[in-house]
Structure 1
Amino acid sequence: MKRIFIRPELCAGCKTCELTCMVEHCPGSSLWTINLSDPANQPRNVVLAGPAGNPVPLACRHCTDAPCLTACPAGALVRDEAAGTVIHQPERCAGCWMCVMACPYGLIWPDARGRVAVKCDFCGERNTPRCVEACPTGALSLVETDGPGVIREITGT
């Protein structure tokens, strides 16, 4: 299964990953159509300051044993068994924030309007998430996992 592999030491803190994530999820999926003042346009990944002030990119880990899945009483979070990702179905979300509280990494949050939860969706049908494609330093890469601790970088991304 595919995973986003993060190398924080390569992150420049440019937030290109955040912007491209926002663009991917805005109507029209274009930099020309994004409305930055619309609270619905927010990234599904973040770059935060680490303990030493260094930038640290974070994205949903799509955990094998995902606490958010069992915490959601509405069944809005489901596992895509083929891809191995945890997918959020906003139309089923009750806005109770149980998944937000259950995520051990703090990578699910209420949308800016406070209606539904927001999390990385691995860019849906795309072969490679937009954030990985856009990262200018290679801090984000797509890897294939064969099991615990076994990863292979996917070439051509």
Structure 2
Amino acid sequence: MKRIKINRKKCIGCLTCVTACTVAHGSRDTRGRIVIDSEGKYAPIYCRHCTRPECVYACPTGAMRRDDESGYVIYDKSRCASCFMCIMACPYGVLKMDYQTNREVMKCDMCLSTESEYPQCVAKCPMGALTLEEVYK
């Protein structure tokens, strides 16, 4: 399974990754996509696509599911009841409410809906701080 890795030494906090994600998903809301790290720099946050995803276990409607083939945790907004149990269950705090709709969850989908080989944040990072790497469990 591939995951997005951040090299904090290369990251300059420019937020190009956040902009690329926002544009790729046709959103205007960036509030759930960044945090301020321990050094006071802005940094992107990503779903870790957990092997045992608490968000999936907490979701009463099946809107959150783990794809066995890719290993990614997928969000189906058409099945979402807007209860936000997934947000409360995520131990990493990476799931956020989409303040643009107040009904949906913002979650990294690895840009599976785009025709790009890489997630847009990785493809557009000017410093090469974001990479897509194979992880083995």
TM-score of the superposed pair, with normalisation by structure 2: 0.89
The answer as to 2:104 corresponding to 1:116 is yes
Greater strand share, structure number: 1
Greater mean alpha carbon deviation, residues 67-76 or residues 137-146: 137-146
Q: Which residue of 1 aligns with 2:82?
A: 95
Q: Tell me the percent identity.
A: 45
Aligned pair count? 134
The answer as to 2:19 corresponding to 1:4 is no
The answer as to 2:54 corresponding to 1:67 is yes
Secondary structure in 1 aligned to 2:135?
A: strand
Displacement of 1:108: 0.7
Secondary structure in 2 aligned to 1:75?
A: coil
Distance 1:43 1:79, change over 3 A: farther
Which has the bigger relative contact order, CA under 8 A and spacing at least 6? Answer: 2
Unaligned runs of 5+ in 1: 27-39, 148-157
Unaligned runs of 5+ in 2: none
Q: Superposed, which structure 2 residues align to 1:134-153 within 5 Å? A: 134-147=124-137
RMSD: 1.7
Distance 1:120 1:43, change over 3 A: farther
Displacement of 1:127: 2.6
Deviations 1:48-100 (A, max 9, x none): 22123133332111111111010000110011211110000000000001000
1:16 & 1:142 partners in 2: Cα distance?
A: 16
Amino acid of the structure 1 residue aligned with 2:120 = R
TM-score of the superposed pair, with normalisation by structure 1: 0.79
Larger Rg: 1
